[in-house]
């Protein structure tokens, strides 16, 4: 079985991990820093997995990545997550034009946007796009 032990003694590193645990940009970053600190305090991998509701394999992956790459491994790699269906400035212009034309008929603006872009999307996605881009 793979054994990864954390034995961090450098106070600057521990302070940096504690800061990330409390103020990290993403939930994943904060969780990973917290898991490393818990492991360093002697908490077992299975207990850490139970605390975060993840598999033990995930904990080992986090610890190994930290051991190999340091603090930079706590961040999520780019390209993760669902990509936006309406992404280009051209799409934003089309949506803005349709909202302007049909200001009091958002469903009509939605239908026109779907027709013009040829992208299948839900009305909820359309509303989220409007809110996100303050249209």
What is the four-CA torsion angle of 27, 67, 54, 85, rounded to 10 degrees?
A: 50
Q: What pLDDT is attached to residue 3?
A: 56
pLDDT class for 87, splitting at 50, 70, 90? confident
Q: What pLDDT is attached to residue 88?
A: 75
Q: pTM value?
A: 0.59
pLDDT class for 1, splitting at 50, 70, 90? very low
Query: How confident is the prediction for the chain on average, in pLDDT?
Result: 88
């Amino acid at each position: 079985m793979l054994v990864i032990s954390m034995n961090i003694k450098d106070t600057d590193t521990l302070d940096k991990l504690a800061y990330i645990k409390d103020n990290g940009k993403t939930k994943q970053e904060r969780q990973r820093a917290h898991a490393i600190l818990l492991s360093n305090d002697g908490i077992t991998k299975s207990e850490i997995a139970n605390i975060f509701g993840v598999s033990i394999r995930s904990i080992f992956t986090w610890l190994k990545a930290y051991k190999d790459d340091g603090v930079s491994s706590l961040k999520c790699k780019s390209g993760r997550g669902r990509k936006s269906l309406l992404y280009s400035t051209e799409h934003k212009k089309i949506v803005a034009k349709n909202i302007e034309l049909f200001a009091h008929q958002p469903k009509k603006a939605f239908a026109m946007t779907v027709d013009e872009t040829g992208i299948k999307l839900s009305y909820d996605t359309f509303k989220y796009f409007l809110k996100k881009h303050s249209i």
